[in-house]
Amino acid sequence: MKEKTKPTIYTIKLKGRLSREWSEWLEAMTIEYEGENETIVKGDILDQSALFGLLKKIRDLGLPLISINQISNKPNQERK
């Protein structure tokens, strides 16, 4: 029996401001701001394929990528 993959929480930091309205298009990721000119995209990503798909969408927005960090392998709803 194949084991179910658990999502991993990632934060992706971008240079520039991205409106929170883009959250749905970016797989319902949370959009937060750091400083005056940086955007943090954060949320659960199921696997590497989903991560690369999200990064392609971010690339298409034209905002420079600053960093990608894996935070946890527990989904948001399980964190305390």
- When divided into structural domains, the chain yields a total of 1
Question: Each residue of 35-45: b (16+ CB within 10 Å) or e?
Answer: eeebbbbbbbb
In a domain, 80, yes or no: no
pLDDT at 78 over 80: no
What pLDDT, in 10s, does the model give residues 16-68? 999 999 999 998 899 999 999 999 999 999 999 999 999 999 999 999 999 99
Residue 32: strand pairing partners: 40
In a domain, 60, yes or no: yes
- In terms of residue numbers, what domain contains 57? 17-65
